[in-house]
Amino acid sequence: MPSTSLRILQDDNLTALRALPNASVELIYIDPPFNTGVTQKRTRIRTVRDADGDRTGFGGNRYRTETLASAPIYADIFDDYLAFLRPRMIEAHRVLAPTGSLFFHIDPREVHYCKVMLDEVFAQAGGAGRACFQNEIIWAYDYGARATKRWPAKHDNILWYTKDPKHYTFHLDASDRIPYMAPGLVGAEKAARGKTPTDVWWHTIVPTNGKEKTGYPTQKPLGILERIVRVHSNPGDTVLDFFAGSGTTGEAALRNGRNAILIDQNPEACAVIRKRLAKFDPAPSPNKQRPGQ
C-alpha cells in the first residue's frame, strides 16, 4: 500500500477550494449542512447505574443518562441555501480530476433542489451537465425516534456525479459484499459470498456508544465512506472533503491507502479530526496552512 498524506485545513472552505490546483483531486465527498433550521450541537453523556434510570443495559441493569456538556457546533440555517452551495460546487468541479467523482450527501427535503443545481454546475463548467449524474444512492437506516403522524424519515440521499459521463473510476469488485435478502434462492455458494450493493445501502448510523463515535453531531459511518473510497478511487489518489466535520472521510481514505485533504472552518471540528487521525499521521499539516503552500 502506498504511503499517504493528510492535510487538515481550518479555513472557510470556499477560500481554501479556490487555492487548490485544477484537476488535483480524484474523489470528493461532502456532507454539507442540510439546512434543517436548527443549531447542531455536540453533546457528551455518561450513564450511571440507577434502578430508576431511563435505559436498560447489559444483563437488564438500569442506568440513568446524564448530560456532561452540550455546545453548539454550527447553525444549520440559510437564507439562501443554494446560493451558499453553488460557488463551492463550481470550485469542486474545477478541482476534480478528469476521471473523478463527486459524492454529495443530503436529505430528502433538499435533494431535488440540489440535484438541479448540480446539473447546472456541471453544464456551466463546460461539462455534460445532467449526463454527469450517475446514481442517487439511498442510505437507509433504522434507528432513532419514530414519527406518529407520517412515515418515519429513515434515509439520506447521496448524489453521485462524474467529471466525465463515460470515463470515471469505478471498481465494483473492490466493494464490500452484503447478504442476500433471500439466500435460499441463490444457492449456498452465492449466499456465502454475498452480493455487491445496489443503489440502496442499508447501514446503521454511528451508535451512541460505538467505537467510532467522536461526539461530533451528524457524524457519518465509516462503512459508508470506505465503500465510496474503495470503489471510486485508486490507492495513491487524493480524496477531498471540504465539510470535513468529524473526519470520517479522512479516516476512510487513509485506511485504504489514499491521501486526504480535509477542510473545516470550525476549530472544534479540526481538533476532533486531528485527534482521530493522529494514528495515521502524527504530524498533520499545520492548522492554518493553505492548499499549495
For residue 177, is pLDDT > 80?
A: yes
Instruction: Please report whether residue 261 resides in a domain.
Output: yes
Choose the final residue of a domain: 24, 52, 73.
73
- Are 205 and 143 within 8 A, CB to CB? yes
Question: Which residue, 49, 73, 97, sits at the end of a domain?
Answer: 73
Strands 25-30 and 238-241: parallel
Whether 59 and 154 map to the same domain: the answer is no
55 and 114 in a single domain? The answer is no
Question: Is position 24 within any domain?
Answer: yes
At 109, phi and psi to the nearest 5? -70, -35
- What 8-state DSSP symbol labels residue 263? E
pLDDT tens string 93-122: 999 999 999 999 999 999 999 999 999 999
Task: Check pLDDT > 90 for residue 285.
Answer: no
Query: Residue 289 domain-assigned?
Result: no
Domain assignment of residue 54, given as a range: 40-73
The answer to whether residue 287 sits within a structural domain is no
Whether 22 and 49 share a structural domain: no
Residue 261 · residue 235 · CB < 8 Å: no
Amino acid at 239: V
pLDDT in tens, 33-89: 866 544 444 445 455 677 766 555 545 666 565 554 544 454 546 678 999 999 999
pTM: 0.81
Do 24 and 105 fall within a single domain? yes
Q: Is residue 285 part of a domain?
A: no
Q: What is the number of domains present in the chain?
A: 2
| CB of 53 closer than 8 Å to CB of 65 | yes
Q: Tell me the C-alpha distance between 4 and 67, whole Å.
A: 38
